[in-house]
Amino acid sequence: MLYHLLYPLHVDYPVFNVFKYITFRTIYSVLTAMAIAFILGPWLIRLLSHYQIGQPVRDDGPQRHLVKRGTPTMGGVLILFAIVMPTLLWADLRNPYVWVVLVTVAGFGAVGFWDDYLKVIRKNPKGLSARRKFLGQVAVAGVVSVYLVASGFDTHLTIPFLKGQHVELGWLFIPFAVLVIVGASNAVNLTDGLDGLAIGPVMIAAGTYLLIVYLTGHAKFAAYLQIPYVAGVGELSILCGAMVGAAMGFLWFNTYPASVFMGDVGSLPLGAALGAIAVVSKHELLLVLVGGIFVIEAISVIGQVAYFKMTGKRIFLMAPIHHHFELKGWQEPKIIVRFWLIAIVLALLALSTLKLR
């Protein structure tokens, strides 16, 4: 909004020319998102506590989690507010990619809110059935993917390291994009099982894609790096900046020992946003590396369930893999910080592939 209100003033007042620059607006998007999360965080935690919107904790999990019972949850509403408001404030709202990701965030946020509402407020431990949750996710991701193809979005699949190698997916782009978005959403959801364990890598991944969308949306940089040029996708730097800022702000309260959990209303849209950003920036496969922690967590569950069904035995003491380390006796902060460090290494490796083509 500020872009539309203040940039035109540069004709008479040159100082407003600064609003043209994505870098300037991204920095202030990060800071605005952090400010919103810092300022509203304590108020929201008091509100959630007042209305006893506390986390139910399953009995069959690691015993040390039982002390977490009643921790205020659904803090994800704060994260979403701290992402959407700075984006509306600082981004060019005529940009279709900004709306593609905002609609994805809103849709997955609604699915997550519904699940949390049933679990936490209506005290139904099952929450939304897995089937309804999945259908809701596929519906939102499907709408967004069909819109992209219908609006002429490039449906070539780019492959990291292999410059110039493109696979034309055609209409298959739609199920592929749905798979990326829904997969990322559920992977972040599974990861969010220790204090700050999900929001840390989300911040790292959002920061990595901030750079990727900026380079992909810049004709000269894209040509130099021989990566796909997607005109206009650079505007998503502002939304990625808001994700980084919102994650930093939320982590202030979600760090061990957590005063608040994000709930599915946070984890589902955060993962879906990363998936959507990966799709529109044409760096979907790179998300496997950038979001490697989420991939490891999801694979640990898939492997555990499959192996258990086949043999009746477990690969891990418990899945997702963060519970395995808990049952091995690692303290929670040790697991969390080590996962963050791995996330940083994976992000650096992913960025290095932009040069290695």
In angstroms, what is the minimal distance from the CB of 72 to ligand 57M?
Answer: 10
Strand partners, 156: 168
Question: Does position 192 bind ligand 57M by CB under 6 A?
Answer: yes
Selected range binding ligand 57M among 30-38, 81-89, 185-193, 269-277, rule: CB under 6 A: 185-193
How many residues contact ligand 57M, by CB under 6 A? 29
Selected range binding ligand 57M among 13-21, 38-46, 87-95, 311-319, rule: CB under 6 A: 311-319
Q: Footprint of ligand 57M on residues 79-138 (CB under 6 A)?
A: none
Selected range binding ligand 57M among 30-38, 100-108, 191-199, 277-285, rule: CB under 6 A: 191-199
In angstroms, what is the minimal distance from the CB of 194 to ligand 57M?
Answer: 5
Q: Footprint of ligand 57M on residues 259-278 (CB under 6 A)?
A: 261-264, 267
Handedness of CA 89, 91, 95, 97 (dihedral sign): negative
In angstroms, what is the minimal distance from the CB of 56 to ligand 57M?
Answer: 7
Three-state SS at 67? helix
In angstroms, what is the minimal distance from the CB of 165 to ligand 57M?
Answer: 36
In angstroms, what is the minimal distance from the CB of 287 to ligand 57M?
Answer: 19
Selected range binding ligand 57M among 30-38, 83-91, 210-218, 318-326, rule: CB under 6 A: 318-326
Asked whether the bond before 333 is cis by omega within 30 degrees of 0, the reply is no
Q: Where are the alpha helices (DSSP H) in 51-172?
A: 76-90, 96-116, 130-150
Question: In the set 73, 87, 216, 281, which binds ligand 57M (CB under 6 A)?
Answer: 73
The 3-class SS string of 22-64 reads: HHHHHHHHHHHHHHHHHHHHHHHHHHHHHCCCECCCCCCCCHH
Selected range binding ligand 57M among 42-50, 52-60, 221-229, 241-249, rule: CB under 6 A: 52-60
**Which residues sit at the interface with ligand 57M, rule CB under 6 A?**
55, 57-58, 60-61, 65, 68, 73, 189-190, 192-195, 254, 258, 261-264, 267, 301, 304-305, 314, 318-320, 323
